[in-house]
Amino acid sequence: MNYTVHKAFQKDEQQLTSYIVNYETTGENFGNQDRNSLKLFDLNGLTINVKSFKVPNVINQVAYRFLRKSKAQRSYEYANRLLDLGIGTPKPIAFYEYKTAFSFKKSYYISEHLPYDLTYRELTFDFTMLSHEAILRAFTRFTFRLHEAGVNFLDHSPGNTLIQLNDGKYKFFLVDLNRMEFGDMDFETRIKNFARLTIHKSMVEIMSDEYAKLSGYNYKRVFNLMWEETEAFQQRFHKKRRLKNKLMFWRKNK
């Protein structure tokens, strides 16, 4: 096992390590446990969460061992980078990795657990929500800030932005950080970044309108590409799901 602990939490290194060593039998499960496991722990009165990434497949075990940074390490490093840019994300605390001589096994990312009122996902189905449009426009401004800072959040999807309402002073925080690119973003890259967020044309119209005002791009140009990319993503998503269901039919028959 090797690990890196943020300098602000080095005094808690022994306690943090014990959470990792005893992860399977301690902590409180939080959220969806299907892909990766997430648990809450108390660190001297501070609620923290520990994300346990699954052991990768055989090919990626070699890749993560010798060629690529782990998801946990990238999450930790990207969180620090976002905070340096003034972009909201839960405070990074540490990452841990288990490796053998020739392969990569488990990894864990530890961060502060932030209280929040909703995620972007709720905006996609609760259209009676108070200030729905105002929140959506504020989210679009937040995304524009990301793009201006050169942050291409590749997992910009409904569950990966936490929202604090704060009496109309909305704050946004990114989670699930392990897939990001940094650098100048052209028009197409910026607008494609909205493709995974919603299936609703009315929401795309509002986000396109706000983004056009902020960026100076023509509204029709923004909307046409954003809606085109939204539809294309949905087609790919459902095609992939249908293929997966066909390939995994034997599970349903068990």
3-state percent helix, strand, coil for the chain, nearest multiple of 5: 50, 20, 30
242 pLDDT more than 70: no
Q: Examine the pLDDT at 254 and tell me if it is beyond 60.
A: no
Q: Is the pLDDT of residue 139 over 60?
A: yes
Percent of the chain at pLDDT > 90 equals 85
Q: Up-side HSE of residue 8: CA atoms within 13 Å toward CB?
A: 8
Mean pLDDT of 7-24: 97
The two counts, helices (H) then strands (E), for the chain are 9, 11
Residue ranges of the domains in the chain?
2-112, 118-240
Per-residue pLDDT band at 251 (split at 50, 70, 90) = low
CA atoms in the 13 A half-sphere facing the CB of 236 = 8
CATH topology of domain 2-112: Phosphorylase Kinase; domain 1 (3.30.200)
Confidence of residue 247 (pLDDT cuts 50, 70, 90): low
> Would the pLDDT of 250 be above 70?
no
How far is the C-alpha of 75 from the C-alpha of 85, rounded, in Å? 15
* Fold of the 118-240 domain: Transferase(Phosphotransferase); domain 1 (1.10.510)
Query: What is the 8-class DSSP label of residue 89?
Result: -
Mean pLDDT of all residues in the chain?
93
Q: For residue range 56-113, list pLDDT tens digits in order.
A: 899 999 998 999 999 999 999 999 999 999 999 999 999 999 999 899 999 999 999 9
pLDDT in tens, 103-133: 999 999 999 999 999 999 999 999 999 999 9
CA of 48: how far to CAs of 21, 38, 91, 153, in Å? 16, 10, 9, 23
pLDDT tens digits along 183-214: 999 999 999 999 999 999 999 999 999 999 99
d(CA 71, CA 74): 5
Cβ proximity of 52 and 106 under 8 Å: yes
Whole-angstrom distance, CA of residue 118 vs CA of residue 125: 12
